[in-house]
Structures are given as structure tokens and as C-alpha cells.
A and B are shown apart, each in its own frame.
Chain A
Amino acid sequence: MSYVIDRRLNGKNKSTVNRQRFLQRYRGHIKKAVEEAVGRRSITDMEHGEQISIPGRDIDEPVLHHGRGGRQTIVHPGNKEFVAGERIPRPQGGGGGQGAGQASNSGEGMDDFVFQITQEEFLDFMFQDLELPNLVKRHLTGTDTFKTVRAGIANEGNPSRINIVRTLRSAHARRIALSGSSRAQLRALKAELERLRLEEPHNFGDIKAAEEEIERLKARINRVPFLDTFDLKYNLLVKHPNPSSKAVMFCLMDVSGSMTQSTKDIAKRFFILLYLFLKRNYDKIDVVFIRHHTSAKEVDEEEFFYSRETGGTIVSSALKMMQEIMAERYPANEWNIYAAQASDGDNWNDDSPLCRDILINQIMPFVQYFTYVEITPREHQALWYEYNQVAEAFSDAFAQQQLVSAADIYPVFRQLFQRRMTS
């Protein structure tokens, strides 16, 4: 007798725990592979998993087994030309078929162990040990959204929230409580009446008195209302403040003539990395793209990265625009504001002190974190040194780094967001 059972709906992923244990154990290897991959791939396909390869010998589970050597006799199938007693030269390097039986024994561990991790796991490893600075703000501010949660039962409320079961239960309890003594008397009287009717059927006076008393008690019991106002119970809903986890990310980029397409590519990679990282921390993210040469303009993504402009550079125009947009659309008590600025460091010299002032007075007090990357192999110019002062004033919310080539992006990114010890 056989039973046929459909198990397809049973949990799959029974191996999830084991898989995680494995990844945990080899996280060193995997992290290295991920870092290499980040440097190698185009940032636009960050959203894939990655093939990880770990040297076989690092992952072997050792057992006692025979090594090569000694006298080994092995039976093989498929003889073609050998005759008994024949001597044949030993094939070199395990080639030919003769050594294959052993080769699979001892050679197995030498291949790399290759496997795939998912995108989720890939990003996990990519952003491991990184954190968004000043996250604490979102718990303190931005609490003007609420969610209602059930919080038990209350005596007051709105009729649509009546809890019928609890109401009737309480009405029932009240009726029992209020009519308890009358019912006890009623039971006693009824027994008395019964006795009177049997034992003294002619004692009409007492019987009548008892009957009247019974009627009176019944009326009294009936006067207890079935439902009273204070029986009513309501489901209580209370509002819990819902910490806002909205973030806005400002991407500021210089598109003046000095920015080449490759510089912009580097900037783009940096922005995408930041975007992916923010996405892991916040439910909702707005991205605002501001590009500037001598004047700033809010644009969409496509235009931001690909349209070409020429001309001089006035960085403060972008900062001003960012400040305006912040004031208009992203009040700091509701939004976590992050900003990343990319530039090749060129600026109209008189403008740099202005940038510093705008940052210090109008932007930095409201943002969680402002990163500035300067993509240039050359000497720093005025902007960098002015920004140094900003960094001094807001050491925990402002960071600047220099990028030279695409390979620096990830290390610099890690540097900017590495987990700090909170003092």
C-alpha cells in the first residue's frame, strides 16, 4: 500500500539556514570577491547577484584518505588493446585514463568552488560595515505621520467601533449582578409555593400572598434593562507616531566644459552607489538632480548624466537651488536629507567663499550628511580649501574625498560611510 503525498507546497528553502552559515563562514572570501566585482562591473548592473569563487583548498572538509604512491591496483572497464603482462609507460600528469580513478580522489579539492549569490546578498556584502551617519535624527523628528493600532477595549467610543461580544458579556454580567438577590428570593418563594400547594392546599391566604410576591419579584427582575449605556464597550484605537523614514537625496554635479564624459561617468557611479545604499535604509527616497555650470537647473536623470553643456562654473548656483528646493519641498523635520556633490574642483574663484557660507549657514544645519567628491588628478583648488572649513565646522555631517579613477569609487565610498565609533 502506497501513500502519495503532495509536498510541493511545503516549505522550500530548507537549506536557507545552511546557506547563510556557509556565507557567514566564508564572508572574508566573499567580501573580497564582491569588492573586486564592484570595481570591475559597470555600476548600472549593481543590481545583480555575483558569481563567487573560493579556492577549493580553503573550503575542503578534510578526511583521512589514501594519497598517491605505494602499490595500487585498479580495475578499469573498456580495454581495447592491452594484453595480460603488458608493461606500459606511466602517463604523465595523470593524463590518459589510467590515473583517473585516483585523480578524482586527490585532485578534486583543487578546483575552485564557484557559486552564485543573490543580489540581496551581494548588496549586503557590498555595504557591510557601512552606515549612514546621523541616522538618529529620524527617530527624533519627522513624527507627524501616525498609524492607528488597536489598544484593547474602552468604555467610550464611536458607535461603529462597538465590540458586540464584550458589550453583551458585560450586559449579561450586570443583569446577573443586579437581579441576583431577587432571583434567589424568587427560587425560595417558588419552592415555598409548591410546598404550600401540596401540604396546605386550603391556605389560600398564604398562597395568594406568595403568588403576589412572585409576581412582584418577576416584575422587578424584568425591570433590569437588557442593555444599558454603561454596558457598551468599544474597540480602542490609538495613534502611534510613525517615525518618518523618508529621505531625499540631492545629486549636484558640475557639467561645465571642464567635466569630460568619463568624469561624469565616475560621478554617476558614485551617485548610484549612494542611491543603492540609501535604498537599503529608507522606505521612500526622492532623488533630486541639480546640474550647474554658471547657472543651476533641476533636471531629470537622463539629462543629468548625458546632456552636454559648456561654459564656466559657479558652484554656488547649485547650492542656492538646493537650498530653495529644500525649503520649498523637503522640510527638514519630515525628510532626511542627503546630498552628494561631484565636481572636478573648478570654480570661479570669487564664488568659493560664497559656497562655503551658503553651506554653513543655509544647508548644513538641515542635512544629515553632505559628501563632496572631487574627481580630478590635479591639485586642489580654492573650492576644496573652502570646503575644508565646512568640514571643520560640521565634522560629523560633512565629508570630502578625492577621486582619481573609477577604481577609487568604491574605496572612497567606503571611506565616506564607514561605521564610526560613536563617542
Chain B
Amino acid sequence: MKRQPISTGSEWTFDLIRQYDREIGRIAERYALDTYPNQIEVITAEQMMDAYASVGMPLGYHHWSYGKQFLHTEKHYKRGQMGLAYEIVINSDPCIAYLMEENTMCMQALVIAHASYGHNSFFKGNYLFRTWTDASSIIDYLVFAKQYIMQCEERHGIDAVEDLLDSCHALMNYGVDRYKRPYPISAEEERRRQKDREEHLQRQINDLWRTIPKGADKGDGQAGNQRFPAEPQENILYFIEKHAPLLEPWKREVVRIVRKIAQYFYPQRQTQVMNEGWATFWHYTLLNDLYDEGLVTDGFMMEFLQSHTSVIYQPGFDSPYYSGINPYTLGFAMYQDIRRICENPTEEDKRWFPDIAGSDWLTTVKFAMNNFKDESFILQFLSPKVIRDLKLFSILDDDRKDELLVPAIHDESGYHTIRELLAAQYNLGNREPNVQVWNVDRRGDRSLTLRHMQHDRKPLGASTDEVLKHLHRLWGFDVHLQSMQDDKLVNTHHMPPRASNEAETDSRFPGMNFA
């Protein structure tokens, strides 16, 4: 039974958008996609560039780096080197998705399916987002952050705030708790507690740095030798906020804001493949269903497939356009494959995935969406078929060897290796250097020592010293960074930098640096 198509032209109207949304929503309900309410906002290309510049935050504090981002986007867009993304979607409740005015009706429908049903259900369902972010309060919190930073600019000058934000941004990726669940953030709560916190914090810090030793400490050499913090701390910004000796209270608050926002984006960085794959899988499924019901025309489908295929285009490693694995491609291929394994399992699938082969596909893909992050998702669900289809192979580049080695390719003996390697590649812990707060010289020069645990002898990149400058600005005293490989010290960085030969002598005469 074919029905009348919803529209035949490529022009969109608000009525049409509502109709498409209603139909797509109806089909999504058939698949029991659990979503936040949708808020679909139509914006212009310029507004889209604004949204881009603020890294997808609907409102952000002012900072030059967003201006840089904006200029960059604007230039590329105006020259036609880049189309703007079809959509930006915000993990909030209600879930805000932006549609661009310039899009055709088909693109609008694609974006609605992709963002308002795909991403939206991922935000609501995935365990990382459920644990780490609080969709209902993020907008409030951003408003609070923006206002607070504006007040600071008025009180302390734009330059002072900008310097501080620069330093915080440099350490933003080290401002997240990776294992501990944070308290949900609430703007109201923040505002109420902020005053107390300022006073309380300052008092705590004063205690830590009290220079007059207590009577009991006298002659007790043991206590003095203990490291502080007792355990290495991975959340450097948190450590700064709580323990930096010279930070004024408002600065601590700003550090906290940057840290909270980093935390909010943390799940997104860990679920790129899954999130984009999931959204792509659903726009593909939902729009195909619309077509099967006769609600969209052949022309619509042609346009849709054209954009869809360009979204999931994966150039080969030797193509000039190659810049790593396209998360859309990998994610989409994997969800499609899970569905195939459930619906039409082959012998191989039954061997590899005895649990899911032949099971209900909808339950299985939802399970796969709910309970994993990129790393574990790939480890669990990357099938030999996807490896073969994408012709995945690995390259081992060891700087001690003259030649590169191909340890595994897409064949029977390589599937396991490829799967493990690819999963490890998406492990944020491997992608970012493992740097933690190791010690503070409380009795001496108050210097802060970080430790970098090298993984596979991978050194730190070129901008390390720049980052240390920022850390030095926050900490206020000397900062050292030690690179360790298997408990052996292989490299050190110092800020302020010191000549290599004085490294030994200098430490015997700790000096105070109040700069």
C-alpha cells in the first residue's frame, strides 16, 4: 500500500519539517528509540559558523581561541573548501539540534533522523553519558559559567582572565576524572555554594602551606619525606584548583569551570565511532523505512544516498584525502554488521559471536549502544567481515628498526590482532600521554613534579614546554616533568628551563620563586 509522498520539491517549510519529524518520530517509536524531547532550531549559515566556533556549546564564555576557530571556519566555508556540517546537536534535555536554512528538504529530514533521533537516543542511552553528564542542567551551567567569567573580566581585566583561560585550556584534557563519577553539576547549586567554597578553599590551602611547623612535627623526619599527594593524581586541573598555593579564589573558580566543561565533553571524545555510527545507522534505517512506506520520492532517496555515501566515504591509506579512519564509516559498518549477524548469521559469525548470532537485532544493537565505549565496542563487536570489507591492516613503526613491519592484515590469523590494535587505538589512555601529578616539594621550593609514564617509548610532543609554561603560571612555583619508561627516568622537562649541568647542584639549594 503506497501512500502519498510528504513532499516532492526540494524546498522546505516549517510545516514540512514538522510533518517529516512526525513521520520519522513515528517510525523511531516503532523501534522503541528512547529519546529526550527534541528541540529543532532552524538557523542560518552564519549562525552555524558561530555554533561551530563555540565547539558546539550553545553559549560559551568569550575567548580568543573561539574567534580563531570562527575565522578558520568562515574562511574555509566562504571559499567553498568545506561544507558546514549538516548538523550540530547538543547533549541537553531537551536535545537541541540545529538545521541550516540552506539545506534542502531532504537534508533537513536526514538531519532530523540523524541528530534528533540518532544522537539523541545515544545521549540518553549510553552509559558514559548517563554517568558523566547531566543533560538537564548543562545549559544552566553554561549560563552560569559565562556570567561568572564575564564578572571576572570586569573585576580583574580581560587580559588576566584570558591568560588564565589559556593556561586552563592547555591542560583541559587533564581536567577529567577518568574513573570517579563526578557529582552532577547544577548551576543553581554552583552559584549558591560558590561563595562558601571560595572561603573554604582558601582556608584549606592556607593549612596545607602553613609555614610554621606544628610542635608534633618537630623532629619527625618521616612525615616530611612523605610524598604529597600520597597517590599520583591524574586530574591535574583538579589538583591545581585544590592545592595551587598562589591562586586567588576567583582563579580557582575559573579552573573549576574549565574542568567541569572538559568533563562534560569527555564522553563525546570516548564515543566518537559509536555515537556517529549509531546516528548514521538510524538515519539510514529510518529514511529507508520512510521510502518503503512511500512517504518520500525516488529523487529524495537519490539525494539522501548521495549525502549518505559521502558521509561514510573512507579513503584508503594511500589516498591524498586520507586522514585516519572515518568514525562514521567504521561505526556505521559495525552497527550494520551487528544487525546482519543477528538476522543472517554465517558459519563464521556463529563461531565468532555465538551469543548474538541469530538473536533479536534491535535488542542487540541497543545493548551494544548502551554499554560500551569506542574501545570496548570495537573489542567486542568488530567482526572479521568488517575487517575484510575495510581491508584493515596494521603497521608497526619502531624507531629502533629501519623498516616498518606489517604485523597483521585482514586474514584469518590477523583478525584478532587487528581488533585488539584498533580497540587500543581508540583508548584515550593510549592516545594521550599518561601524565600525572607525582609530588610537591612542600618543605623545599614548593616545586610541582609531574610524571609521564611512557607507553612503548612514545615521547612527548613538541609543545610540552609550552604546556609546562602554562602549568607554571597556574602553580606559581617551579614545575618539573619526568618521563619514565619502565621505572627508569628517561627524560626531564623543567619550567623555568634550566641548563642541563646545573640540574644536580641547583636542587640542593632550593630557592623560592614568587614570580
Which of A81-89, A337-345, A383-391, A399-407 has 4 or more CB atoms under 8 Å from chain B? A81-89
A96 at the interface (CB under 8 A from B): yes
Cross-chain contact A83 with B409 (CB below 8 angstroms): yes
Cross-chain contact A2 with B318 (CB below 8 angstroms): no
Q: Given A64-B173, A87-B403, A113-B72: A97 and B316 within 8 A (CB)?
A: yes
Q: Given A83-B406, A100-B323: A78 and B318 within 8 A (CB)?
A: yes
B201 at the interface (CB under 8 A from A): no
**Please, how many angstroms separate the alpha-carbon atoms of A82 and B66 in the complex?**
43
B405 at the interface (CB under 8 A from A): yes
B441 at the interface (CB under 8 A from A): no
**Please, how many angstroms separate the alpha-carbon atoms of A118 and B396 in the complex?**
48
Interface residues of A in 1-37 (CB under 8 A from B): 1-8, 10, 12-15, 17-25
Across-interface contacts of A3 in B (CB, < 8 A): 37-40, 94
**Please, how many angstroms separate the alpha-carbon atoms of A330 and B150 in the complex?**
49
Cross-chain contact B405 with A87 (CB below 8 angstroms): yes
Cross-chain contact A72 with B53 (CB below 8 angstroms): no
Complex: chain A residue closest to B465, CB-CB: A62
Cross-chain contact A79 with B393 (CB below 8 angstroms): yes
B373 at the interface (CB under 8 A from A): no
B392 at the interface (CB under 8 A from A): yes
Cross-chain contact A14 with B54 (CB below 8 angstroms): yes
Instruction: Give per-residue flags for A172-213: 1 if the beta carbon is below 8 A from chain B beta carbons, else 0.
Output: 000000000000000000000000000000000000000000
Across-interface contacts of B39 in A (CB, < 8 A): 2-3, 5
Across-interface contacts of A67 in B (CB, < 8 A): 458-462
Number of inter-chain CB pairs below 8 Å: 277
Cβ distance A87 to chain B, nearest Cβ, rounded Å: 4
Cβ distance B311 to chain A, nearest Cβ, rounded Å: 16
Instruction: Give per-residue flags for A49-93: 1 if the beta carbon is below 8 A from chain B beta carbons, else 0.
Output: 000000000011111111111111111111110111111111000
B104 at the interface (CB under 8 A from A): no
Across-interface contacts of B314 in A (CB, < 8 A): 77-78
**B325 is contacted by which of A2, A15, A21, A75 (Cβ under 8 Å)?**
A75
Instruction: Give per-residue flags for B424-435: 1 if the beta carbon is below 8 A from chain A beta carbons, else 0.
Output: 110000011101
Residue of A8, A10, A78 with most chain B CB atoms under a 10 A cut-off: A78
**B399 is contacted by which of A70, A97, A114 (Cβ under 8 Å)?**
A70
Across-interface contacts of A8 in B (CB, < 8 A): 42-44, 47, 101
Across-interface contacts of A98 in B (CB, < 8 A): 317, 395, 397, 404
**A15 is contacted by which of B21, B54, B409 (Cβ under 8 Å)?**
B54
B267 at the interface (CB under 8 A from A): no
**Please, how many angstroms separate the alpha-carbon atoms of A10 and B21 in the complex?**
23
Complex: chain A residue closest to B323, CB-CB: A104
How many chain A residues touch the partner (CB < 8 A)?
67
Q: Given A4-B21, A71-B396: A65 and B62 within 8 A (CB)?
A: no
**Please, how many angstroms separate the alpha-carbon atoms of A8 and B47 in the complex?**
8
Instruction: Give per-residue flags for B47-85: 1 if the beta carbon is below 8 A from chain A beta carbons, else 0.
Output: 101100110000000111111101110110010000000
**Please, how many angstroms separate the alpha-carbon atoms of A65 and B465 in the complex?**
11
**Please, how many angstroms separate the alpha-carbon atoms of A1 and B162 in the complex?**
41
Residue of B40, B158, B171, B324 with most chain A CB atoms under a 10 A cut-off: B324
**A100 is contacted by which of B172, B322, B393, B407 (Cβ under 8 Å)?**
B322
**Please, how many angstroms separate the alpha-carbon atoms of A90 and B404 in the complex?**
6
**Please, how many angstroms separate the alpha-carbon atoms of A65 and B433 in the complex?**
6
Instruction: Give per-residue flags for B402-430: 1 if the beta carbon is below 8 A from chain A beta carbons, else 0.
Output: 11111111110110001001101100000
B472 at the interface (CB under 8 A from A): no
Q: Given A63-B173, A70-B456: A76 and B53 within 8 A (CB)?
A: no
Cross-chain contact A60 with B463 (CB below 8 angstroms): yes
**B324 is contacted by which of A4, A70, A88, A100 (Cβ under 8 Å)?**
A100
Across-interface contacts of B398 in A (CB, < 8 A): 70-72
Cβ distance B289 to chain A, nearest Cβ, rounded Å: 18
**B50 is contacted by which of A14, A21, A72 (Cβ under 8 Å)?**
A14
**Please, how many angstroms separate the alpha-carbon atoms of A62 and B166 in the complex?**
9
**Please, how many angstroms separate the alpha-carbon atoms of A64 and B75 in the complex?**
28
Cβ distance A143 to chain B, nearest Cβ, rounded Å: 37
Across-interface contacts of B17 in A (CB, < 8 A): 4
B473 at the interface (CB under 8 A from A): no
**B64 is contacted by which of A25, A69, A77 (Cβ under 8 Å)?**
A25
Cross-chain contact A77 with B317 (CB below 8 angstroms): yes
**Please, how many angstroms separate the alpha-carbon atoms of A24 and B317 in the complex?**
41
Cβ distance A361 to chain B, nearest Cβ, rounded Å: 52
Interface residues of B in 248-299 (CB under 8 A from A): none
Across-interface contacts of B432 in A (CB, < 8 A): 64-66
Across-interface contacts of B397 in A (CB, < 8 A): 71-74, 90, 98-99
Cβ distance A99 to chain B, nearest Cβ, rounded Å: 8
Cross-chain contact A82 with B393 (CB below 8 angstroms): yes
Across-interface contacts of B443 in A (CB, < 8 A): none
Complex: chain B residue closest to A66, CB-CB: B458
Cβ distance B391 to chain A, nearest Cβ, rounded Å: 4
Cross-chain contact B391 with A77 (CB below 8 angstroms): yes
Q: Given A7-B41, A21-B62: A106 and B462 within 8 A (CB)?
A: yes
Cross-chain contact A100 with B317 (CB below 8 angstroms): yes
Cross-chain contact B42 with A116 (CB below 8 angstroms): no
Q: Given A14-B50, A74-B395: A19 and B67 within 8 A (CB)?
A: yes
Cross-chain contact A78 with B467 (CB below 8 angstroms): no
Q: Given A4-B18, A100-B317: A15 and B50 within 8 A (CB)?
A: yes
**Please, how many angstroms separate the alpha-carbon atoms of A10 and B51 in the complex?**
13
Complex: chain A residue closest to B454, CB-CB: A70
Complex: chain B residue closest to A87, CB-CB: B403
**A73 is contacted by which of B403, B407, B457 (Cβ under 8 Å)?**
B407
**Please, how many angstroms separate the alpha-carbon atoms of A237 and B417 in the complex?**
87
B170 at the interface (CB under 8 A from A): yes
Cross-chain contact A75 with B393 (CB below 8 angstroms): yes
**Please, how many angstroms separate the alpha-carbon atoms of A312 and B314 in the complex?**
75
Cβ distance A82 to chain B, nearest Cβ, rounded Å: 5
Cross-chain contact B407 with A115 (CB below 8 angstroms): no
Complex: chain A residue closest to B94, CB-CB: A3
Cβ distance A103 to chain B, nearest Cβ, rounded Å: 9
Complex: chain B residue closest to A98, CB-CB: B395
Q: Given A5-B41, A60-B463, A115-B74: A78 and B316 within 8 A (CB)?
A: yes
Q: Which 4 A-B pairs have the closest CB atoms?
A: A78-B316, A22-B67, A18-B67, A62-B466
- Which B residues have a C-beta under 8 Å from some C-beta of A? 14, 17-18, 21, 25, 37-44, 46-47, 49-50, 53-54, 62-68, 70-72, 74-75, 78, 94, 98, 101, 116, 158, 162, 166, 169-174, 314-319, 322-325, 390-399, 402-411, 413-414, 418, 421-422, 424-425, 431-433, 435, 454-464, 466-467, 470
A–B complex contacts, Cβ < 8 Å, 17 sampled: A3-B40, A4-B14, A4-B41, A15-B67, A63-B173, A67-B462, A71-B396, A71-B398, A73-B421, A73-B456, A76-B394, A76-B395, A77-B325, A85-B405, A101-B323, A106-B462, A115-B72
